[in-house]
Amino acid sequence: MLKVTRLSKSYALPQGRLSVLRAVDLAVEAGESVALTGESGSGKSTLLHLVAGLDEPDGGEVALDGAVVSNLSESGRARLRRDRVGLVFQQFNLIPSLKVGDNLAFQANIAGRFDAAWYDELVERLGLTGLLDRYPEQISGGQQQRVAIGRALAVKPALLLADEPTGNLDEATADGVVALMHELVKRSGCGLLMVTHSLRLAGLLDRRLHLTAGQLS
């Protein structure tokens, strides 16, 4: 589903170039949930952005669902993110002017991949049945994050990328959200790569990788 080969990335600073990723290799299989941990500034989010085609590497290759991301044009990478990648961030990024039900279906509708049966299942499994006619500001943070996860999964992505998705939630709510996300990834058959600073949350997924000094262990 995802294969990263010898991926490298550095940034120019006044004192010279800072190497963030050094020949990183990574694979995520269909239906597999992988946690990516590491100290702040270790390059976890950089790796996620490179996988999603939001940034370009200095070297190496990202192959996602059969497509080499670096070989795609900017518009091609945007189409790949729209159709085959689900993105979940710490900030829920819901559209405040849309009701919960419309937020949930938003990406799937844009991609032309809306599946009513899968949508209904997500609504039920995410506990959103009575909330579809509310606006984001009218529901809790944990509920908003479940909507964000549902929106990302409604498109039936090949890969779900989550960057500190529970950073704004309390511990009990975070555990529930991650456990539910893990379950839905198994159900949908997509892969999950989740950045987290929490070893507790990482332990809820199938496998953990640790990023330090630009390399995975």
CATH of the domain at 31: 3.40.50.300
Residue 108 domain boundaries: 2-216
Confidence of residue 92 (pLDDT cuts 50, 70, 90): confident
Give residue 163's pLDDT: 92
Quote the tokens at residue 149. Answer: 């996860």
| Pairing of the two strands 85-89 and 2-13 | unpaired
Minimal CA–CA distance to 161: which of 185, 127, 186? 185
Exposed e or buried b for every residue in 130-154, given b needs 16+ CB within 10 A?
ebeeebbeebeebbbbbbbbbbbbb
Q: What is the mean pLDDT of the chain?
A: 92
Rounded CA separation 57/86 (Å): 21
pLDDT in tens, 16-55: 888 999 999 999 999 999 999 998 888 899 999 999 999 9
Per-residue pLDDT tens over the stretch 147-166:
999 999 999 999 999 998 88
Q: Calculate the CA dihedral of residues 126, 123, 145, 56 and round it to 10 degrees.
A: 110
